[in-house]
A = this chain, B = another copy of it.
């Protein structure tokens, strides 16, 4: 995995979160491959599959959010040309409707290289429900 390829993928990943923070639906959509295999899971939710449904879910999320900020932690990138697998933890701060929330979320972002660069085909986000001082070790 060359540094240049890893940098491309990390840039694509960063642009996805920056677009969300900017509440810029066009920029969020530009991160995605508009295909039937596009798929996402928002934290605690069901699969949304196919670009039309994914697009609707992204628009629905953004229209309900007043403010959102991502601190992206524990980034790992792996590439199997033409696929890149990114895993990370999103520390999400947001205000939506009634109040402010902070949530740690595990995310898988799968990108495929196209002539327009690395495009998201799969975003899977899940809430972390165990205490942060537990390292997942149940002795």
A89-B47, A128-B45, A130-B46 given; A108·B122 CB < 8 A: yes
| Contact across chains for B37 and A126 when beta carbons are under 8 A apart | no
Select which of B47, B112, B124, B126 is within 8 A of A44 by beta carbon. B126
**Copies of chain A in the complex:** 2
**Any B CB within 8 A of the CB of A68:** no
Interface size for A (C-beta < 8 A) is 38
**Any B CB within 8 A of the CB of A55:** no
**Any B CB within 8 A of the CB of A14:** no
Please, what's the 1-or-0 string for A87-130, where 1 marks a CB less than 8 Å from any CB in chain B? 10100000000000000001010101000000001101111111
**Any B CB within 8 A of the CB of A78:** yes
Residue of B with least CB distance to A74: B47
Select which of B37, B57, B110 is within 8 A of A110 by beta carbon. B110
